[in-house]
């Protein structure tokens, strides 16, 4: 991939080669001592742009490398993956790296893989943040904490597969056999807090969907402020990425989830047992379904959504 520079203890060439498909990596710039390596490659055949901060180098041009990598991802509508062993280039007022990450928001999937101590805001400016064991606390916290560095790479590859356009991976298996709702490979996010709700990405009949579900086994599935914040963050991420939403509702309260306000992606709500009308309409867009034991308290005259008995 690069020639002319000796390897370093945290060689970004090795890290990026681990993340990406073999023999798919091409450099976006000549080898140098800028402190950041940026490449184009593939993950399971899908084109991505990736960069890695090198802790052994302290050049000042690294921020420009990241900006150009993000802009390359935007221009080709490919996911961008950042590997972080440290804070990378230090952000400043009107920092171009932060501006580039914001520019990519809603246009391409942004994934950060935090592999070491990162305290700055740049790594957290992503749609999804993966944290390896050596990672230290950073702004925002991770969406997905893993047990090893190899697992971090594997999870990043899995998320790229779910989020790379088009959101289609062939015929689904989970629905066809009637024994599981989702195809294999569901990824739950933010598992370490707000346990009364489940948020995650999976495939339904081969198509990527975002899932928001009450967990009645935890405090009856009650939605408290922390739970609402978890759901709101996830819904807004799915809306920015154009991922449809499936909402599985078993909610003992009429709790308002602000994240559904203004969401434009298709969404379907399934009432598995009970819900109240206070927030149900905000969770609906195209269809509403009730399981045989499901009971929903709301006014049918106040909505134009379709109701589908199951």
Q: Residue 45 is part of a domain; what is its CATH number? A: 3.90.226.10
pLDDT digits (tens, 9 = 90+) for 256-272: 566 677 788 888 888 77
Q: What is the pLDDT of residue 82?
A: 94
- Nearest residue to 269 via CA among 210, 205, 201: 210
pLDDT digits (tens, 9 = 90+) for 37-58: 999 999 999 999 999 976 665 5
Sequence-distant (6+) residues with CB within 8 A of 169 are 161, 183, 203, 206, 207, 208
Cα gap 270→89, rounded to integer Å? 46
Instruction: Look over the chain and give the mean of its residue pLDDT values, rounded to a whole number.
Output: 77
Cross-strand pairs, 214: 197
The DSSP bridge pattern shows strands 128-131 and 287-290 to be unpaired
- Verify that 143 and 250 share a domain, yes or no: no
- Verify that 206 and 138 share a domain, yes or no: no
Q: Are 243 and 210 in contact (CB under 8 A)?
A: yes
* Structural domain boundaries enclosing 86: 12-163
Structure tokens at 271: 């009432």
- Verify that 135 and 199 share a domain, yes or no: no
Number of Cβ within a 10 Å radius of residue 304: 8
Q: Residue 177: inside a domain, yes or no?
A: no
**Residue 165 CB-density burial (10 A; 0-12 exposed, 13-18 middle, 19+ buried):** middle
At residue 139, does pLDDT exceed 80? no
Tell whether omega for the bond before 166 is within 30 degrees of 0, i.e. cis.
Answer: yes
Which stretch, 32-36, 71-75, 226-230, 299-303, has highest mean pLDDT? 71-75
Q: How many structural domains does the chain have?
A: 2
More confident residue, 283 or 272: 272
At residue 291, does pLDDT exceed 60? no
- Verify that 156 and 222 share a domain, yes or no: no
pLDDT band at 168 (very low <50, low <70, confident <90, very high): very low
Cross-strand pairs, 290: 271, 309
Q: What is the pLDDT of residue 174?
A: 37
Above pLDDT 70, what percent of the chain? 66
More confident residue, 68 or 89: 68
The DSSP bridge pattern shows strands 110-114 and 46-53 to be unpaired
Domain boundary among 106, 129, 163: 163
Q: Residue 169: inside a domain, yes or no?
A: no
Q: Are 223 and 255 in contact (CB under 8 A)?
A: yes
pLDDT band at 181 (very low <50, low <70, confident <90, very high): low
Does residue 128 sit in helix, strand or coil?
Answer: strand
- Verify that 20 and 155 share a domain, yes or no: yes
- Verify that 159 and 192 share a domain, yes or no: no
- Verify that 215 and 95 share a domain, yes or no: no
- Verify that 105 and 216 share a domain, yes or no: no
Cα gap 92→55, rounded to integer Å? 19
At residue 301, does pLDDT exceed 50? no
- Verify that 220 and 144 share a domain, yes or no: no
Cα gap 138→85, rounded to integer Å? 12
- Nearest residue to 231 via CA among 198, 267, 201, 266: 198
- Verify that 113 and 212 share a domain, yes or no: no
At residue 9, does pLDDT exceed 60? no
Q: Are 49 and 81 in contact (CB under 8 A)?
A: yes
In this structure, of 159-163, 226-230, 249-253, the range with the lowest mean pLDDT score is: 249-253
Sequence-distant (6+) residues with CB within 8 A of 221 are 196, 197, 214, 215, 250, 251, 252
Average pLDDT estimate for 55-75? 78
Sequence-distant (6+) residues with CB within 8 A of 179 are none
């Amino acid at each position: 991939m690069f020639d002319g520079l000796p390897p370093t203890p945290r060689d970004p060439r090795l890290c990026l080669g681990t993340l990406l498909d073999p023999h798919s990596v091409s450099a976006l710039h000549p080898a140098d001592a800028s402190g950041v390596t940026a490449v184009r490659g593939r993950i399971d055949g899908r084109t991505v742009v990736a960069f890695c901060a090198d802790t052994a180098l302290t050049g000042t041009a690294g921020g420009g490398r990241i900006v150009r990598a993000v802009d390359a991802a935007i221009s080709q509508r490919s996911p961008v993956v950042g590997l972080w062993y440290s804070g990378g280039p230090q952000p400043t007022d009107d920092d171009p790296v932060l501006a580039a990450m914001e520019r990519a928001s809603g246009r391409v999937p942004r994934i950060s893989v935090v592999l070491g101590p990162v305290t700055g805001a740049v790594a957290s400016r992503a749609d999804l943040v993966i944290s390896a064991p050596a990672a230290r606390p950073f702004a925002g916290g991770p969406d997905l904490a893993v047990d090893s560095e190899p697992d971090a790479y594997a999870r990043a590859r899995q998320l790229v597969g779910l989020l790379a356009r088009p959101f289609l991976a062939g015929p689904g298996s989970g629905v066809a056999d009637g024994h599981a709702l989702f195809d294999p490979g569901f990824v739950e996010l933010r598992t370490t807090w707000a346990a009364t709700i489940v948020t995650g990405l999976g495939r339904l009949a081969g198509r990527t969907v975002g899932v928001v579900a009450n967990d009645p086994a935890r405090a009856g599935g009650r939605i408290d402020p922390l739970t609402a914040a978890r759901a709101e963050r996830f819904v807004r991420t799915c809306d920015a990425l154009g991922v449809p939403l499936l909402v599985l509702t078993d909610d003992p309260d009429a709790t308002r989830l602000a994240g559904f306000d203004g969401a434009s992606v298709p969404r379907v709500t399934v009432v598995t047992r009970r819900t109240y009308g206070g927030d149900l309409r905000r969770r609906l867009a195209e269809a509403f379904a009730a399981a045989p034991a499901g009971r929903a308290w709301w006014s049918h005259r106040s909505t134009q959504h379709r109701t589908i008995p199951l």
